[in-house]
Structure 1
């Protein structure tokens, strides 16, 4: 049985005009003239043998039939758009944009990104180091790294490392005139803070240490700045063992005490749920999760 379908261009013109309730705005969106849109609508109305619009002076309204038709076509066009995006995402070639906090970019991903490039030479990685509210996946970003508890709606969120917080300091400070023999010795040193002073306060409470003034010491906007200050001997940082790994491996920082507390928050790999298992996003996701699992086993 032969399918009786209207011309696609006529449907596109109708959907745009019905959405805007304007032939002029529909023409601008479709990059055609207003006369061309009007012609397409007339052709569609002739094909259907019914009126879809009511034209009153400068006002454009949908007929009852036009409104019903538009509501169904709107969902069909959305499905077509989603199907096209999924198909394009299947392609392994191209570029992938990954957004994340600057500290995670500089301390963790950048030193490792060549491994992904070697495994997937046909995918160019674009790293976007930005500060933004958690839970907000921008339109120009394929994959993001969020820091929090993983409670974001509408996205696929994969937890990366299990993280621990522990005091970190320079070897010069550790071997300096003020010994660091126990956690109580923290009261004799400058504390370095990441964003706020609450982290030190919570950590000391959990390990049962009292009498340390957490209301002193500088506050930095990013974790990497705290680690840099600590490596220069300017004080003691409460560091994330994952982000501090380059400084620890290089000997610029040491862990003076065995005490550590598992962080309530963690870094998460985040992407659109519908894209998680497709194309370049799936390749990046599989790579980073496998690498994290391998490194976690080594901790």
Structure 2
């Protein structure tokens, strides 16, 4: 190791070894590497041995996409004990005890096994009663009602501009910190949300929401299933991925 780093790491003494200054500086990195190896080995062993599958994703995705589908998964895979961790941050699989994640982004995580879950569109949604009350049958009509925003007004501005409507007309209506809250507000008849297709699909299917116009724009990012490369072929992980 000393040859590899190009510096003496130990002082040889009659009663044993002690660290040099370089060795003391190097020690925390060695400890971290060993800990990651230990945690990674445990994760690999657990994924191939246990029936527990721990999955992480954003609260939005857990609420609007995964939770409504849990019954079907449990029926198809009664032997898998699924654990859901809803978190906004990207976890460290080696140290957080997570088997698989669903991430929203470009898919550029080169150290992970990555599978695209679904492409996404942005389109307006509202309750059936709201669409009927305000006769929302064209893009311009949407600018005359309350628009529901996800985090900021930028997405509505982009959508209106794509269909040649003055984007400044979007600068009204409440702003929600979570996409799922904006969708729930639309279900409750509070206005029109610009929804991600993956998150609105089940509310549309159930009739709680409608698309007042067909106009949509592609989202620049998508949802991806990610896991460590070493565990990508584990049976439990394959069951959820497929």
The alignment partner of 2:108 has SS state of: coil
Which residue matches 2:47? 89
Q: Distance in 2 between matches of 1:241 and 1:205?
A: 19
1:270 aligns with 2:226: yes
Which residue matches 1:206? 162
Paired residues of 2:111 and 2:229 also in contact (CA < 8 A): yes
Q: How far does residue 181 in structure 1 lie from its aligned partner after superposition?
A: 2.9
The alignment partner of 1:269 has SS state of: strand
Q: Distance in 2 between matches of 1:148 and 1:158?
A: 12
Which residue matches 1:54? 12
Q: How far does residue 146 in structure 1 lie from its aligned partner after superposition?
A: 0.7
1:8-27 equivalences under 5 Å are none
Paired residues of 1:165 and 1:240 also in contact (CA < 8 A): yes
Paired residues of 1:186 and 1:212 also in contact (CA < 8 A): no
Q: Distance in 1 between matches of 2:175 and 2:111?
A: 34
Larger Rg belongs to = 1
Instruction: Give deviations 1:256-284, integer Å, cap 9, x for gaps.
Output: 11111121111111111121112322332
Q: How far does residue 135 in structure 1 lie from its aligned partner after superposition?
A: 7.4
1:187 aligns with 2:143: yes
Higher RCO (C-alpha 8 Å, min separation 6): 2
Unaligned runs of 5+ in 1: 1-20, 22-51, 63-74, 287-299
Paired residues of 2:47 and 2:53 also in contact (CA < 8 A): no
TM-score where L is the length of structure 2: 0.79
The alignment partner of 1:188 has SS state of: coil
Unaligned runs of 5+ in 2: 1-8, 21-32
TM-score where L is the length of structure 1: 0.65
**Corresponding residue pairs, total:** 221
Structure 1, 248-257 or 205-214: larger mean CA deviation = 205-214
Q: Distance in 2 between matches of 1:129 and 1:79?
A: 25
RMSD after superposition: 3.0
Paired residues of 2:126 and 2:191 also in contact (CA < 8 A): yes
